[in-house]
Homo-oligomer: A and B are copies of this chain.
Amino acid sequence: MTGMLFDDEGRRLLDQLFDKWSLLVLEALCARPRRFHELREHLPAVTPKSLTTCLRRLERNGLVERLVLSTDPLAVEYRITRLGRTLEEPLQAMLRWVVDHLDVVETARSHYDERRSPEERSTRTS
């Protein structure tokens, strides 16, 4: 079924959707339209540069649209498109899975690390 994901187009879209911020940005915009600085506050660790890159990419892929409101001072609003909205459910399901299984995964990691180094109490987290 996923043969298409191995050619260049498929790989690129997959990589771009699942880059460091896209999923979280999309989720934030699914809830409601947001301004640039609102997104920055919502995603504490993102730098303006990374956020711009991410938003441009989502815009280019047709998942997000950028609206310049000609107010003073300048305001810009990002909102999910209809195409982006079709991704909402799968996206939410994946994020929910991650949140719901964080502790189980953490337990699995501990077991794995202990088995690999039974004597030393390593503090590796990578």
Show the binding face of A for B, using Cβ within 8 Å. 1-2, 4-6, 8-15, 17-18, 20, 23-24, 27, 43-45, 59-62, 83, 86-87, 89-91, 93-99, 101-102, 104-109, 111-113, 125-126
Tallying the copies of this chain within the complex gives 2
Main secondary structure on A side of the interface with B: helix
In-complex Cβ contact of A62 among B13, B105, B125, B126 (8 A):
B105
In-complex Cβ contact of A10 among B6, B8, B14, B98 (8 A):
B98
Q: Indicate whether A96 sits within 8 Å of B1 (C-beta atoms), given known contacts A62-B104, A104-B83, A105-B62.
A: yes
Measured CA separation A83–B20 after assembly (Å):
24
Contact A98 B62 (CB under 8 A): no
